[in-house]
Amino acid sequence: DDFSAEKLGLHWQWNHNPVNSAWSLTERPGFLRLKTSRVVPNLYLAPNTLTQRMKGPKCSAVVTLDLSHMKSGDRAGFAAFNDETGALMIKKDGKKLTLCASDLSVKLSQRDKVVENATEKVVESLPLTTTKIWLRIDGNFVPRTDIATFYYSLDGENWQKIGNDYRLRFDWQRFFMGSKYALFNFATQKVGGYVDVDSFTIE
């Protein structure tokens, strides 16, 4: 998907009802713009998380991001998403950009499915000196495997693995069955930042 169409394809699903004023395919033609729209503490409460199904038996997806307009406190990136999530999360703190490979988890109330607690364990992190980055997540759903592996590139050609192989859980009780690729951008301090997604490629 090069995001040149007038509408999002039907293979995409918003994880929440979208805030339509906070995303755009037209403000920068050929890019999907994801804006922050409210301050939230974690990915599970973030609006405008855009997802599509990971596919078996194996799949590999690459996303290209322009991080130039993130604000301090913003969190953007790419994830293998469910109630247990492996994420490539870019954090903007002050003027510093950091890429983190993180394990995320959420606990929901049994009755109302309200977020009661969310945790993040940073497995590996590194400073970024560029505002353009390629992120890749490979999914392996061969029976008795079910892992995601994470990579980044600064030029779109040379890839570096980051973090550990992430065990994907098949749990229908809390969120949804299986795992989804997720593009996200949310604010933890103040709204107004955005990221531009140049392309999404899946094999």
- The DSSP string of 47-91 is S--EEEE--SSEEEEEEEEE-TT--TTEEEEEEEESSEEEEEEEE
pLDDT band for position 114 (cuts 50, 70, 90): confident
Residue 119's pLDDT band, with cuts at 50, 70 and 90, is: very high
Closest CA to 197 of 49, 83, 37: 49
Q: What whole-number distance in Å separates Cα of residue 71 and Cα of residue 93?
A: 8
In tens, the pLDDT along 37-96 reads: 999 999 999 989 999 999 999 999 999 999 999 999 999 999 999 989 999 999 999 999
Task: Give the whole-angstrom CA distance, residue 84 versus residue 111.
Answer: 19
DSSP state of 196: E
Residue 171 has pLDDT above 70, yes or no: no
What's residue 97's pLDDT? 98
The residue-averaged pLDDT of 20-41 equals 97
Share the mean pLDDT of the chain: 94
Min mean pLDDT across 52-61, 96-105, 164-173 is at 164-173
Structure tokens at 6: 């007038």
The answer, yes or no, to whether residue 176 has pLDDT greater than 80, is no
- Which conformational region is residue 175 in: left (phi greater than 0), alpha (psi within -120 to 50 degrees), or beta? alpha
Residue 167 has pLDDT above 70, yes or no: yes
Question: Computed over its alpha carbons, how large is the radius of gyration of the chain?
Answer: 16
Q: Give the pLDDT confidence score for residue 173 in this predicted structure.
A: 61
pLDDT at site 140? 96
- pLDDT of 8 > 70? The answer is yes
Confidence of residue 163 (pLDDT cuts 50, 70, 90): very high
Determine the Cα–Cα distance for residues 125 and 75; give it in Å rounded to an integer. Answer: 14
